[in-house]
Amino acid sequence: MTETGYSKKVLEHFMNPKNVGAIENPDGYGKVGNPVCGDLMEMFIKVKDDTITEIKFKTFGCGSAIATSSMVTEMAKGMHVDDALKITRNDVADELDGLPPKKMHCSNLAADALHAAIKDYKAKKTGKK
Amino acid sequence: MERIYLDHASASPVDPRVLEYAEQYLKLRFGNPSTLHSKGLEAKKALEDARGKITELINAESESSIIFTSGATESNNLAIKGAAMRNIQKGKKVAASTIEHISVLNPIKELQKSGWEFNLIPVDSTGLVDTEKMNAILTEDTTVVSIMYANNEIGTIQPISEISRVVHEKSLYLHVDATAAGGRIPVDVQNDGIDLLTLSSNDMYGPQGAGALYVKPGVKLQPILPGGGQERGLRSGTENIFTIAGMGEAARIAKNEMVEESRRLEKMRDKLIEEILRIEESYLTGHPTQRLPHHASFRFSRIEGESILLNLDMGYNIQVSTGSACTSRTLEPSHVLLAIGLKHEEAHGSMIITLGRSNKIDEIPRIAKGVKETVERLRKLSPL
């Protein structure tokens, strides 16, 4: 842990986040949080045969909000959507070697944003049928 | 990459001259000033010398007007609770501005639980106390009014003489928290018309763990820390001679160098403000001219302050502060930024720079570049 209270892994993902950006015409899109609260996340996914082939995010928020967004995209990439739905906030925090207790709500949002994108994908798919 | 430390309001390094002077009181002159033997007298002398130096810094009536404490939080507690409880016959009302430090607001909230009324005095969008509204809020049964000399988050300096006039027309006590202002700008308790004044050691390059409370002759306080009766009975406990001696020496140096140093820092501050405001959608917080010479505070739209702090620290070895919710214990954005009328989402994107003796004007290009690139990087990440 550094003096900021963040693990090395959190700081790595904060400084060099993976999968930043937006996807045009995504198969699934999720948006959670609220700038008033200080956290807002957008998640974009491309899905083929129910597997997440591409995933990108945009996040307004603190260090752990950005790090958890980056981490959740790394975790979900290549995963079956039903498995990705099972990723919890604790899973994300664990992968980052832990988060300060008061920051747990931020990682909650990253998983939530992913889940929202997957649900959007599923709704679209059902709609098409 | 060499460190550029820009968070002197949070903590300042002890000036080497202060350490050189004060360390003898850790190593050799360790006596208890309440004892009569030679070791005690040595310590007593250090204590009284320090009191003299603080007296001079703020032009107090006499040395006996200065009470040493453990820091600004204790001084604020003693001033407010001490004045409110001792003068309860006058009434059970206390007033303070909305931008006071939490160590002023929380003691008042504690008094509220025991039946005191708390009147909040609003400020305008630059952080200046609205003296007309203050006049309307204060009543004869208010005991103590607490207004800070200058704000630590937005740098705004209050018109203390004008505030004092309004407070004293109603015969109330004025407590002024000068933690951020002490040793930085001239503070003259007699000329400004101040009854109680808080000072912090570390904010003027003294060691952490010492503070002072100026108590105007005739102002009555109840001690909040009863015991052996040190410090005229107002603050019991064996005096912490090392930190107090250091605070005294820090006050002496600050007084001697104030004019020159504040001119130097003002120049640097103004250049920094000019450079940073070149960034799109960046705004100065606090007053444009009535501000502390070493203080530059900003907000940037669409990004969040903790990220700014982390990115500048890790990417550029530059340390700043923020009023963002994510760095506070309560996860609420700064009450100061909300009080000057910012929306929550605006207050989240704040950055506070407080310059100090180690900063040099040739650091500005690196700071400006670091801030600009940080803001750009975080905006690229931002969905807003």
Domains of chain B: 4-12+258-381 (3.90.1150.10), 16-253 (3.40.640.10)
Does residue B303 surpass a pLDDT of 90? yes
Domain membership of residue A129 (yes or no) is: no
Of the pLDDT bands very low, low, confident and very high (cuts 50, 70, 90), residue B331 is low
As for the ipTM of the complex, it is: 0.91
pLDDT at position A34? 84
CA A11 to the chain's CA centroid: 16
Per-residue pLDDT reduced to its tens digit, A56-84? 999 999 999 999 999 999 999 999 999 99
Query: Which chain A residue is nearest to residue B310, measuring alpha carbons?
Result: A63
Per-residue pLDDT reduced to its tens digit, B32-61? 999 999 999 999 999 999 999 999 999 999
Of the pLDDT bands very low, low, confident and very high (cuts 50, 70, 90), residue A125 is confident
- Write out the catalytic residue numbers of B: 326
Domain membership of residue A3 (yes or no) is: no
Return the amino acid letter for A4. Answer: T
> Three-class SS of residue A75?
helix
Domain membership of residue A2 (yes or no) is: no
Mean of pLDDT values over A14-30:
96
Query: Which chain B residue is nearest to residue A22, measuring alpha carbons?
Result: B383
Of the pLDDT bands very low, low, confident and very high (cuts 50, 70, 90), residue B326 is low
Q: What percent of chain A has pLDDT over 90?
A: 74
How long is chain A? 129
pLDDT at position A122? 94
Per-residue pLDDT reduced to its tens digit, B133-180? 999 999 999 999 999 999 999 999 999 999 999 999 999 999 999 999
Q: How many helices (H) and strands (E) does chain A have?
A: 5, 3
Under an 8 Å CB criterion, which residues of B touch A? Answer: 302-304, 306-307, 310-311, 313-315, 324-327, 329, 331, 333, 343-345, 348, 380-384
The domain total for chain A is: 1
- Mutate one of B302, B304, B308 to test the A interface: name it (highest A CB count within 10 A): B304
For residue A108, give its domain range: 8-123
pLDDT at position B324? 76
Does residue A129 surpass a pLDDT of 70? no
CB B46, CB B245: distance < 8 Å: yes
Mean pLDDT of all residues in chain B? 95
Domain membership of residue A98 (yes or no) is: yes
pLDDT at position B329? 62
Domain membership of residue A81 (yes or no) is: yes
Does residue B345 surpass a pLDDT of 90? no
* CATH number of the domain encompassing residue A82: 3.90.1010.10
Domain membership of residue A1 (yes or no) is: no
Of the pLDDT bands very low, low, confident and very high (cuts 50, 70, 90), residue A3 is very low
Per-residue pLDDT reduced to its tens digit, B56-86? 999 999 999 999 999 999 999 999 999 999 9
Q: Distance between CA atoms of B110 and B84, rounded to whole angstroms?
A: 12
Which carries the bigger pLDDT value, residue A5 or residue B76? B76
Domain membership of residue A128 (yes or no) is: no
Query: Which chain B residue is nearest to residue A20, measuring alpha carbons?
Result: B381
* Number of cross-chain residue pairs from A and B with Cβ atoms under 8 Å apart: 72
Which carries the bigger pLDDT value, residue A101 or residue B2? B2
Question: What predicted TM-score, i.e. pTM, was given to this entire model?
Answer: 0.93
